[in-house]
Amino acid sequence: MKRIAIALTVLTFTFSSAVPAQATAKATTVSAAFRTLLNQSTTALESLEEKYEADIDVLDEALIAATKSADANLAQDLQSATDLYSPQILAANSKLDAAKILFTNNSDLKIQQSLFTWQNADRVFSLFICPETTLPAGAGWMEIAKRYCVNDNNKPRPGDISTKTTSKNTIGGEDWQSGETAKISLSSASNKDLLYAISFGWLVPANLSVFDSSRLAIATETANVADLNQKNGKARVEAVSKRDSAVASANKIRNSGIVDLDDTFETAKAQLEAQGIAANLAILASKRASKDLAKFDSAFVTAYKFEYNRQMIGEIADAVWNGEWTYRTIDTIIEVNKLAAYGDSVGRKYTVSGATKFNSAVGGAFTNEPDFRAALKVLVATYKQATKVNLKF
């Protein structure tokens, strides 16, 4: 009987010693599993940040390439406009210059007697260029005094006796006479009074055909040059607008891409950071639970909730006052501070019963939130993989 009693005593001692050993091994295994999860979270976060920067670089390079392409297209479009319109503008200007020369050489108008009976004759006379006369050698030249005339291109000349009068058109000399020949400037070629007088034969061009053809050619080529310049300008403006639109579109694509990247990055980053925080809390919870090895699994759950609640209460208590608190808010903050101090006290002398009471005081304010539940999935999965135990929160 004595041997049997001794044998039972030894067996009981051996069995009771095995339980703490197994529990200690579990605590070590759980801590190691969550340290691995923490390292994986840190590595994944670094990889995520590297990928984010690389993706931003791709978007930036695409924008640079699109801008270069738009600038190259702009240069090509501007050159095309130059190649198309420059020869035409040059040809039109050449025709215009030729028409001006032809008109100037054929702008002589002979005055008929009937012009003097027209009430608007003085308006026609005032278009005539003051005739010139040559003075004796060394004296140069001067303009003949006419009561109605203008200097060539309306520009005063040295020695012009018209500068001695108060009117640029009225010289104070003699009137134009029937049979005299006068010249007009290009600016007067389309004057309606002048053309009216010509149509009635009151003024007779020395070469009517050339006078009319050159005058009309001047009007036509002037309009043609203006039209070509307008088309050229429009083509160049459109080319610049096309370039700006392409760059704006590329910028829009980049900005939209960055928004998408930011959303994806911030979501993934938040998940990995939450996973890392959960791993840290789990490591601490494992250490807390190791004080109650016989009930390690339930003690781990209590400790994890305690650390999470304590962390969330601490964040609120440590928040900076924004100056907008009401009396009700102040009362609430006082209660939060009391809970934070209570949690710190339990943490310094941790027991499962103390943690349970703290968790009851906090309630489900934090553990019922989506963030806690999301992190809990990873926590439970990691714990089960390491211990084959499915935790119940």
Domain residue limits at 150: 107-206
CB 130 within 8 A of CB 143: yes
Beta bridge partners of 141: 134
In-domain check, residue 240 = no
Is residue 391 domain-resident? no
Q: Which SS3 state, helix, strand or coil, does residue 205 take? A: strand
353 inside domain: no
User: Shortest CA distance to 206 belongs to which of 98, 104, 96, 97?
Assistant: 104
Residue 322 counted as domain residue: no
Please write the tens of the pLDDT for every residue from 285-321.
999 999 998 999 999 999 999 999 999 999 888 887 6
Query: What's the structural domain count of the chain?
Result: 1
Q: Compute the distance between CA of residue 347 and CA of residue 338 in angstroms, rounded to an integer.
A: 14
Q: Is residue 180 part of a domain?
A: yes
- pLDDT, one tens digit per residue, over 207-253 is 999 999 999 999 999 999 999 999 999 999 999 999 999 999 999 99
Residue 142 domain flag: yes
Instruction: Please give the chain's pLDDT, 393 residues, in tens.
Output: 333 333 323 323 333 344 455 667 899 999 999 999 999 999 999 999 999 999 999 999 999 999 999 999 999 999 999 999 999 999 999 999 999 999 999 989 999 988 888 888 989 998 998 876 655 555 454 556 688 888 755 544 444 444 433 344 444 568 889 999 999 988 898 899 999 999 999 999 999 999 999 999 999 999 999 999 999 999 999 999 999 999 999 999 999 999 999 999 999 999 999 999 999 999 999 999 999 989 999 999 999 999 999 999 998 888 876 666 565 665 677 888 898 999 999 999 999 999 999 999 999 989 999 989 988 999 999 999 999 999 988
pLDDT digit string, tens, across residues 116-145 = 888 889 899 989 988 766 555 554 545 566
Q: At residue 158, what are phi and psi to the nearest 5 degrees? A: -60, 130
| 90, part of any domain | no
In a domain, 343, yes or no: no
